[in-house]
């Protein structure tokens, strides 16, 4: 969190950095909330091959249940018109695309705000047909003198309507 605070200060952003149990936070009216949810980390297997042995299929279901609770709670932290960004470093649809679809079905106050290619350096291939960001290891080819590959990552930007 110290590195986050340093980067926020360096960039001149006005951000409240809070370290707390997210499920214990009282409802608030934030302009934006970033929920970087705990996940299986299967998107980092390229750099952390031990993930294949330290995670089990049951972990995905357990983590997906926690993510749903966190999403539902985070929804109450965002002011009307504000943004909720949900992300994970997982390749599993249950922790990404399916998680957001289930949340949107539960909470009609929210709708997707599609990511635009210019927001990701023009890399339209990183944006799925719903407007969510999905990176895969194949999205960065190897270049001479440098290893290629990106971590698997998912992010969805949601706006609260009411």
Share the mean pLDDT of the chain.
92
**Domain map of the chain by residue range?**
32-115+127-160
Q: Which of 39, 87, 89, 138 is catalytic?
A: 89
Looking at domain 32-115+127-160, which of 2.60.120.470, 3.40.50.720, 3.40.50.300, 3.40.50.150 is its CATH number?
3.40.50.150
Is residue 75 over pLDDT 90?
yes
User: How many other β-carbons are positioned within 10 Å of the β-carbon of residue 5?
Assistant: 11
Report the chain's C-alpha Rg in angstroms: 17
Q: What is the pTM of this model?
A: 0.90
State how far the Cα of 151 lies from the Cα of 139, in Å rounded to an integer: 9
Tokens of 142: 């190897």
DSSP-derived pairing of the beta strands 153-160 and 110-112: antiparallel
Look up 138 and say whether it is catalytic. no
The predicted pLDDT at position 150 comes to 84
Is residue 104 over pLDDT 90?
yes
Is residue 116 over pLDDT 90?
yes
Segment 7-60, tens digit of pLDDT: 999 999 988 888 888 899 998 899 999 999 999 999 998 888 898 899 988 999
Average pLDDT over residues 82-94: 97
């Amino acid at each position: 969190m110290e590195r986050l605070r340093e980067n926020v200060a360096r960039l001149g952003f006005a951000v409240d950095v809070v370290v707390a149990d997210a499920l214990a936070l009282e409802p608030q009216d934030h302009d934006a909330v970033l929920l970087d949810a705990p996940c299986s980390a299967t998107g980092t297997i390229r750099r952390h091959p031990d993930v294949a042995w330290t995670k089990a299929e049951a972990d995905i279901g357990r983590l997906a249940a926690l993510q749903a609770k966190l999403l539902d709670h985070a929804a109450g932290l965002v002011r009307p018109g504000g943004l909720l960004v949900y992300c994970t470093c997982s390749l599993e649809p249950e922790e990404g695309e399916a998680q957001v679809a289930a949340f949107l079905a539960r909470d009609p106050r929210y709708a997707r705000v599609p990511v635009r290619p210019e927001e990701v350096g023009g890399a339209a291939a990183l944006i799925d047909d719903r407007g969510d960001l999905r990176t895969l290891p194949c999205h960065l080819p190897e270049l001479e003198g440098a290893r290629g590959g990106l971590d698997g990552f998912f992010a969805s930007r949601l706006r609260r309507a009411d």
